[in-house]
Each structure stands twice: as C-alpha cells, then as structure tokens.
C-alpha cells in the first residue's frame, strides 16, 4: 500500500481501512527521508483518529510518528504533533482536572504560528481551530478571533474545506451567543456547495439542537431522521452521537420520558457515555426533562452530575446547566447567594443566550427576596426578551418564578401561571400544566376549563394553535373531500370550512391544500 492511498482513505472517512494499510507498511530505515515521510503519514492518521474521537488510535499513531521522526523533528512535523497532542488532551480519559488552559493555549498558538512559517497552512488551520476551543475559557470574542485567523489562512491558501470548517465554527459560536442560527445556515449552504459531506452533517447536528432549544420540533425531527443514520453508516461517530443526543434532548424538552430513555440508550450504544457530550446528556437533556416532570430533586441531581463530570476533565460545552439552569435551581432552593450567581454571570458560559435567560430569572428571584420589587420587575422584562427564541424554557421560567414572586410580593405570578398553564396544556406536558393549575388555586385565582375536544388534538397540532373545531376539519382531510362535503359532514357552512382551511394552512406551515391533505394522512397513519 502507498502512503498516498493511506492518506486518501483517512480523508475519505475510512479510518479503519487507513489504519490497517498503515500497519501493513514495511519498515523503513531510521533517520531517512522515507522515515520522515512515513512519520508525517502517521501524524495525519493521528489527526484523523482525534477527529473521530478515537484516542487510543490517535495516541498509537502519534507514538509511531515520534519513533520515526526522532528526538529532534523538524519544526513542521513537530508543530503538527503538538496540535494532535493538544486535541488528544481534550478527549475523555486523557485530560486532567488540574490542566493549565493558558499554558496549553500558548503551546498551541506557537505550533500554529510555526506551521504558518513552515508553509503548512492546513496544520496552521488545525492549530487555530484548537486554539478557538481553548480560548472559550477567556471568552467567545477571543475564540472568534482565532477562528477569524483560521478563516483568513484558509482563504489565502485556497483551502476550501478548512474555510467552511471555520465558517461552521463561527456559526456555532454565534448561535450559542444569540440563539440565532442564520450563520449556521449560511455555513451549511457553503458546505453543501463544496460537497463537504462531513461538515454538512456536523452543521446538521448543530441545527438540530438549535431547533430543539427553539421548540421547532418538526424541523429537529427531520434533521435527526435524515442525518443520524447516514452519519453512522459512514463511521462519523462524533456527529452521530450529537444527533442522537439532539433527538433525546428533543424528547426531554417535550416531556416524553420514555422516548428520551430510548434515544439515550442508542446514544449509549454509540459510545456517547465516553464522549465529551456527557455533561449535555446529564444537564441539558435529563436535568431539563426532570423539570418538565416537576421533579426538581432529580433535576438538581442531574445538573450536579454534569458539574462533577466537568470538574474531572476538560469541557468546552457550555449548555450543560452549570452557567444557567443549575444556579437558578439553587437560588430557588435558597442554596445560592448573589456571589454564586455573579460567578456564573462572569464566566464565558454565562454570556450565552440560553444561559443568560436563567441567570436573569435567578437574579429577579434574589431581588424580589431582598424586597427590590422594581429591580425584580426589570430583570423579568429582560428575561422575557432573552427567552423569546426559547418558548419551552420561557414558559418553564414563568412557572418557576411565579412561586417565589407570590411569596415575596412582586411581579404578576397569577398571569405568569395562566400563561404557562395554557402553553404546557397545549404542548401536552401535563405535570407542569397541573402544577400551574394547583398554584393558581393556592393563589385564590380561578382556573378556567379548556374547551371540549382539546385532549383529542395531537400535541404538535395543539402547540401550533390548532383548535378543536379546526381539528374536526383536519381529520377528514386524508380522504381529500371538497369544502361542500366537509360542510355537510360537520353541519357547518362552506364559508366556515374555508376559514378553517386557511387557518390550518397557516398554523401547519403547509404550502397548499394538497400538502395539508398529505400531512393529515401522515398524522392519521402515526400510532396514537
């Protein structure tokens, strides 16, 4: 086998094939040009193994490269090995709790700059990509600066895959900071135009999680269904795990415990329990899901589990609850003070949109407890604006804040409970809806009855605002009847049918009557 063939296999995603061919290579003389070339091949295989989150293979290839390159390798290969080592140190089981991120960042920056000077722009891109991850602990401005450097190098040296890689990571950071996925969508278009399937799948995972946090369930399901199987088929386990976790998180955020457990079982079978995604599984998925079951004790335990994992090894995922949901629950329980909240706010993770909404809410509760009703009201207004992209989190926040607000005499807890109850009833999350109704009764407020027929409407249609009367029209549509037929069946006027059809098209997002009828047939075919 030729070394070029080995590199082509690795770049094409067949890492197992590339490693097998490398093992079959004949020995080469030490300190020869062949040894130097072979060493570079092992470095590239080590990089591919790191990207596939296969630390044992990466470490074995890096060791083979060092044996061939000798104790004093040339600056270029040495820089490439330093970048591989830096990535390897982030993988579970290889990082250390007492790590020095500043020192690691300096070493990686030196390697990236050396690679640039040695005419190795792809190694430089690898280095700046890693540095962007390490610099998250300094703040996302510093991380983005490293990615902009990567973007500049890849553009200057006509490295289109690395250019799209930079765009993807910039888009991911923008989504985490603001909740806006527009830059991610642009990056996906660029990856698709380039034919970069791995990057396209990576963006799909990020877009799926964005859709979950923003409660766009159909969009999230379509992405997961489309990409999870294909990523597994080509051995892209990193993306596959993320997509499986996005599916589990979607089930958790819809209050569907059994569906979440099934998805997490698939995540576990794919090696998710040994990946960097463990804190997200514990906090964003299980912890948040427990709150939708009104089980705060289990939610707190899941969030503590995420924190304990992050204390033992490097973690650069900031949506696990450590910088948002966990401080809020601790404030609600009376276990956290303003100093703990300030610490979370000052961390880079505390600046992200998903976390900031919970920190604003926690601050509002503290101010209300301190008797600062006006300050609490200002923070609730800020929470309202920050949580607008995240409807499930927003209404859960209203439910959680109502209890201390009523106890401490600030805000409008009855209105918040009514809003949250209506939302969670419509979404089919009965534990929270029932808790809101109970809290309304305790507050001496009337609890309205929902119109008959609501319980028959599937949760996705209820969430979209479909009414019982509109649903009566909807269930007839698989037969593709005309308006006159529907009117006769339901004893209403054709004009009323027209209005219901127009409303159904708007609420379901279907382009025309034919598409709406197809959607109705799909819903009818699904098990209840």
Q: What angle do CA 127, 129, 133 make, to 5 degrees?
A: 110
Closest CA to 489 of 508, 469, 504, 503: 469
The pLDDT, as a whole number, for residue 452 is: 59
**In this structure, what is the dihedral angle of CA atoms 110, 115, 117, 120, given to the nearest 10 degrees?**
-170
Domain ranges of the chain: 466-525
Cα four-point dihedral sign 60, 64, 67, 73: negative
What is the 3-state secondary structure of 391-446? HHHHHHHHHHHHHHHHHHCCCCHHHHHHHHHHHHHHCCCHHHHHHHHHHHHHCCCC
pLDDT at 97: 47
Give me the pLDDT at residue 218, please.
93
Token representation of residue 204: 């799909």
- List per-residue pLDDT tens for the chain, 528 residues long: 577 888 888 877 788 888 999 888 888 887 788 888 898 899 999 998 888 888 899 999 999 999 998 888 889 999 999 999 988 888 776 655 456 667 788 899 999 999 999 999 999 999 999 999 999 888 999 999 999 999 999 999 999 999 999 999 999 999 889 888 899 999 999 999 999 888 999 999 999 999 999 999 999 999 999 999 899 888 888 899 999 999 999 999 999 999 999 999 999 999 999 899 999 999 999 999 999 999 999 999 999 999 999 888 777 789 999 999 999 999 999 999 999 999 999 999 999 999 999 999 999 999 999 999 999 999 999 999 999 999 999 999 999 999 999 999 999 999 999 999 999 988 889 899 999 999 999 999 988 666 556 667 887 787 677 888 888 899 899 989 999 999 888 878 899 999 999 999 988 999 999 999 999 998 887 754
Greatest alpha-carbon pair distance for the chain in Å reads 90
Angle CA(141)–CA(213)–CA(434) in degrees, nearest 5? 140
Domain 466-525: give its CATH code.
1.10.10.10
């Amino acid at each position: 086998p030729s070394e070029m063939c080995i590199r082509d296999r690795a770049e094409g995603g067949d890492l197992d094939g590339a490693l097998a061919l490398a093992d079959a290579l004949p020995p080469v003389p030490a300190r020869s040009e062949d040894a130097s070339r072979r060493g570079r091949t092992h470095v590239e295989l080590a990089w591919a193994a790191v990207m596939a989150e296969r630390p044992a293979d990466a470490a074995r290839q890096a060791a083979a490269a060092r044996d061939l390159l000798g104790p004093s390798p040339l600056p270029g290969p040495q820089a490439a090995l330093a970048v591989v080592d830096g990535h390897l140190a982030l993988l579970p089981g290889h990082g250390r709790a007492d790590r020095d991120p500043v020192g690691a960042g300096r070493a990686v920056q030196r390697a990236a700059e050396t690679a640039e000077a040695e005419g190795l722009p792809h190694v430089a891109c690898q280095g700046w990509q890693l540095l962007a991850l390490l610099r998250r602990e300094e703040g996302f401005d510093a991380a983005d600066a490293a990615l902009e450097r990567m973007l500049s190098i890849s553009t200057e040296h006509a490295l289109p895959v690395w250019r799209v890689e930079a765009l993807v990571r910039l888009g991911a950071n923008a989504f985490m900071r603001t909740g806006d996925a527009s830059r991610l969508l642009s990056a996906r278009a660029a990856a698709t135009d380039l034919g970069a399937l791995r990057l396209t799948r990576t963006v799909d995972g990020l877009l799926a999680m964005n859709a979950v946090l923003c409660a766009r369930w159909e969009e999230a399901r379509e992405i997961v269904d489309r990409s999870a199987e294909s990523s597994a088929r080509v051995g892209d386990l990193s993306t596959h795990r993320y997509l499986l976790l996005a599916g589990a998180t979607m089930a958790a955020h819809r209050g569907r415990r059994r569906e979440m457990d099934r998805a997490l079982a698939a995540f576990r079978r794919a090696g998710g329990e040994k990946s960097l995604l463990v804190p997200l599984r514990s906090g964003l998925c299980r912890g948040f899901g427990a709150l939708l079951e009104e089980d705060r004790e289990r939610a707190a335990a899941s969030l503590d589990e995420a924190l304990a994992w992050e204390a033992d090894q490097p973690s650069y995922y900031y949506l696990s609850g450590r910088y948002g949901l966990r401080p809020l629950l601790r404030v609600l329980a009376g276990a956290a003070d303003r100093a703990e909240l300030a610490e979370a706010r000052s961390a880079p993770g505390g600046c992200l949109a998903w976390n900031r909404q919970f920190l604003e809410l926690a601050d509002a509760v503290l101010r209300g407890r301190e008797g600062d009703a006006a300050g609490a009201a200002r923070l609730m207004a800020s929470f309202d604006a920050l949580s607008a992209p995240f409807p499930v989190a927003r209404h859960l926040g209203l439910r959680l804040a109502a209890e201390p607000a009523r106890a401490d005499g600030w805000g409008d807890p009855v209105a918040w409970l009514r809003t949250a109850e209506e939302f969670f009833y419509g979404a089919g999350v009965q534990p929270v809806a029932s808790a809101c109704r109970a809290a309304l009764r305790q507050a001496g407020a009337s609890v309205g009855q929902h119109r008959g027929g609501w319980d028959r409407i599937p949760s996705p249609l209820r969430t979209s605002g479909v009414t019982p009367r509109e649903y009566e029209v909807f269930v007839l549509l698989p037969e593709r009847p005309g308006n006159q037929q529907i009117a006769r069946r339901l004893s209403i006027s054709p004009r009323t049918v027209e209005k219901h059809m127009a409303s159904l098209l708007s609420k379901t997002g279907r382009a025309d009557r034919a598409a709406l009828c197809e959607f109705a047939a799909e819903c009818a075919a699904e098990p209840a």
